[in-house]
């Protein structure tokens, strides 16, 4: 599909290309009693110069969003900051960003990427957690076979008065079956196993799913373990399953929406299309109707 056509699809899932677009969408969500996590699009940076530029953009984003009192925090992908080029340079960029967020009494979540990055990103998280205990979180992916072992290892990490804070998602990267569960129901089962482990071990859980079954089962676990509202939230992607999202908010649960924006929108959009190929049909139909 042509890039211009992909953009027509993308506008449903991306706030736009600029900070102003991200602010506009975030304000609208805040008005609906929904918090946000802000993501500047981009990953797998090929140069340290680009990594430096990405860092500076994030510092500007944190300044703008906090000064304008947006209710939300920030997510980032370490490969944007040279993770696979120079790990120490990447760490220093992330440290500067987390320090800025801490200065603003805000929070940074490290997005987990594909399997080649997992061990490095776990080390990055641990290193930053030691210095910025209450200002840093991580994503874990239920479809990876290793995740329950990673959670067990992380549960032993000193909390320094702040609970470990994880977003739990199914996982989106294409991985071999030796690394990742492939069966749909099997991934669901491990998602709930991981979530139950988090509740049992007093971890803060960002329950990231658009799967109604998992939402319902998560609520059962919340009730079973009497998890206080201060220790969990539901999370969804911007533009995905808004009806389910609104029903969760109306039931009194905290909701956070992942709001991506930026010039590097194309890879994010094509990944959404690969996850949901029937969307291509909807785009083509919409163009014919519009014509």
CB neighbours of 142 closer than 8 A, spacing ≥ 6? 168, 169, 170, 171, 181, 187, 190, 191, 194
**What is the pLDDT at residue 278?**
63
DSSP 8-state secondary structure symbol assigned to residue 162? S
Using the structure block, give the residue that is written with the tokens 């969760």.
Answer: 248
Q: Residue 276 above 70 pLDDT?
A: no
Q: What is the mean pLDDT of residues 69-74?
A: 98
Q: How far apart are CA 167 and CA 31, in angstroms?
A: 23
**What is the pLDDT at residue 264?**
82
CB neighbours of 261 closer than 8 A, spacing ≥ 6? 14, 15, 16, 17, 18, 19, 21, 22, 25, 38, 39, 40, 41
Q: How far apart are CA 207 and CA 192, in angstroms?
A: 10
Q: What is the mean pLDDT of residues 47-73?
A: 97
Query: Picking from 60-69, 207-216, 265-274, which range would have the lowest pLDDT averaged per residue?
Result: 265-274
Specify which residues 144 forms β-bridges with: 180
Q: Residue 32 above 90 pLDDT?
A: yes
**What is the pLDDT at residue 110?**
98
pTM (two decimals): 0.92
- The helix (run of H) or strand (run of E) holding residue 36 is strand 35-40
Q: Nearest to residue 168, comparing CAs of 94, 235, 215?
A: 235
* CA angle (97, 240, 186) in 5-degree steps: 90
Structural domains of the chain, with CATH: 18-262 (3.20.20.220)
pLDDT above 90: percentage of residues in the chain: 80
Q: Residue 262 above 50 pLDDT?
A: yes
Residues, the chain, total?
A: 291
Q: How far apart are CA 31 and CA 41, in angstroms?
A: 24
Q: Residue 288 above 70 pLDDT?
A: no
Residues 208-251: pLDDT tens digits? 999 999 999 999 999 999 999 999 999 999 999 999 999 999 99
């Amino acid at each position: 599909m042509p890039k211009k056509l992909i953009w027509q699809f993308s506008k449903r899932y991306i706030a736009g290309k600029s900070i102003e677009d991200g602010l506009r969408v975030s304000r609208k969500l805040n008005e609906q009693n929904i918090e946000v996590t802000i993501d500047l699009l981009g990953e797998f940076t090929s140069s340290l110069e680009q990594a430096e530029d990405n860092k500076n953009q994030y510092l500007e984003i944190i300044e703008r969003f906090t000064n304008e009192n947006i209710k939300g925090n920030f997510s980032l992908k370490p490969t944007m900051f040279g993770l696979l080029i120079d790990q120490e340079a990447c760490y220093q960029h992330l440290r500067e960003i987390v320090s800025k967020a801490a200065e603003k009494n805000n929070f940074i979540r490290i997005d987990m990427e594909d399997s080649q990055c997992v061990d490095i990103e776990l080390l990055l998280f641990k290193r930053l957690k030691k210095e910025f205990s209450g200002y840093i979180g991580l994503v874990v992916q239920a479809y990876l076979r290793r995740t329950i072992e990673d959670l067990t290892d992380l549960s032993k990490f000193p909390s320094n008065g702040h609970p470990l804070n994880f977003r739990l998602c199914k996982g989106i990267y294409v991985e071999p079956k030796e690394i990742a569960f492939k069966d749909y129901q099997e991934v669901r089962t491990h998602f709930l196993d991981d979530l139950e482990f988090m509740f049992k071990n007093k971890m803060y859980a960002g329950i990231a799913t658009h799967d109604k079954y998992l939402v319902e089962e998560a609520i059962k676990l919340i009730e079973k373990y009497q998890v206080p509202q201060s220790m969990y939230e539901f999370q969804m992607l911007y533009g995905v399953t808004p009806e389910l999202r609104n029903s969760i908010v109306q039931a009194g649960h905290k909701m956070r929406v992942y709001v991506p924006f930026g010039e590097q929108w194309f890879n994010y959009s094509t990944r959404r299309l690969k996850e949901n190929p029937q969307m291509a049909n909807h785009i083509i139909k919409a163009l014919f109707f519009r014509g």
